[in-house]
Amino acid sequence: MASTRAGAADEKVAACPLHEAARPFAQTATWRLASTYMAKPGFAAGLASYCGAMSQPPDMTWPANKMFAQKTRYIICYLLVGNYVRWLGGQGAPPTLATLQKLSSASPRHVAEFVKALRLGGFVLAAPSPRDRRSIHLRPAPLLLAEIARSPLAFLEASEHIDPPRAPLAACLRRSHDRLCQLLARSTERFMDGDMLLAPFRPIVHFTEKDCGYPILTAVLGHRYALSGVHGLRLPAPLTYDALAERFQVSRQHIGNIFIEAEKRGWFTVAQGGRLTFVSEDLIHQFETWAAGQMAHYRAIAEEIAL
């Protein structure tokens, strides 16, 4: 009898499309929805479109990729937006530098220096509190929202490609500063309740910790989807050091270091001339599971906001 139960359990695990990193959370609403996305025939095409969107340079000439395409700095911005929205709703502490320093796991000095750079770039607006002129409130500017929401909106658009909603969601959010703030704020709250969407995926975390590491990963995987014959997807430009360094405004050496480490870890290999010659099946499975989880996460929040 015990062997029969064990066999049934093995079949259930085998049928689950999620990578083992996400299976401890498989029964949550987010990961159940993610599983349905992974099982749909349009999943690969939706994910390929996401990779294409994320591996493009930002519209602005200011080095946004250098500033935001790194995990710690990105999370600081995420927390800033989330705290500002909670404060507006009467639920959070005043949106000051001191509050942000308490929320972030980065050092207070790092947070202060980064916020200073954001203010200089026009990404964060600062004004005295109406109640206490000595207290400076930090407000996210539309420029900051556009950059921080870039990946969430691309994931949301991919989910709409896979499972079309009754009415467009991403397009509606793009048109509304307030709704975009709500999307990021609600996401922040769920992230702070427990990270089941990033931390389990160690290779993905590794790339997010490098300057422009994550966009570089999406460029590599977008290339892989094109090579695998995803319908309607043209082969991107070669993954050469020069092309990627120019696209992401980093050095050739930085691109080389990321590629060399990826090859050593058995994740992927890019040969001379920017030819992608190998990608680990486990890395693909982890990325696809991580991406499906992100799609489900933002889709659920976007539908809440729409209602």
Give the pLDDT means over successive 10-residue stretches in the chain (307 positions): 36 65 94 96 92 80 65 91 90 92 94 93 89 86 89 96 94 91 91 86 95 93 87 74 90 96 98 94 97 97 92
pLDDT for the residue 132: 77
110 occurs within a structural domain: yes
221 occurs within a structural domain: no
pLDDT for the residue 232: 65
Q: How far is CA 5 from the centre of its chain?
A: 38
156 occurs within a structural domain: no
Instruction: Answer for the pair 173, 153: CB distance below 8 angstroms, yes or no.
Output: yes
Instruction: Answer for the pair 258, 216: CB distance below 8 angstroms, yes or no.
Output: yes
Which residues on adjacent β-strands are paired with residue 268?
A: 279
132 occurs within a structural domain: yes
The CATH number that applies at residue 77 is: 1.10.10.10
pLDDT for the residue 160: 96
Which residues on adjacent β-strands are paired with residue 125?
A: 139
Report the largest interatomic distance among the alpha carbons of the chain, rounded to a whole angstrom.
72
Closest CA to 148 of 108, 119, 187: 187
Backbone angles phi, psi at 244, to 5 degrees: -70, -35
**Number of separate domains in the chain:** 1
pLDDT for the residue 62: 55
Residue 85 domain boundaries? 64-147
pLDDT for the residue 15: 53
43-54 helix and 150-162 helix, angle to the nearest 10 degrees: 160
- Residue 258 structure tokens: 């990321």
97 occurs within a structural domain: yes
130 occurs within a structural domain: yes
pLDDT for the residue 147: 86
Angle in degrees, CA 296, 300, 302, rounded to 5: 115
- pTM of the predicted structure, to 2 decimals: 0.89
124 occurs within a structural domain: yes
69 occurs within a structural domain: yes
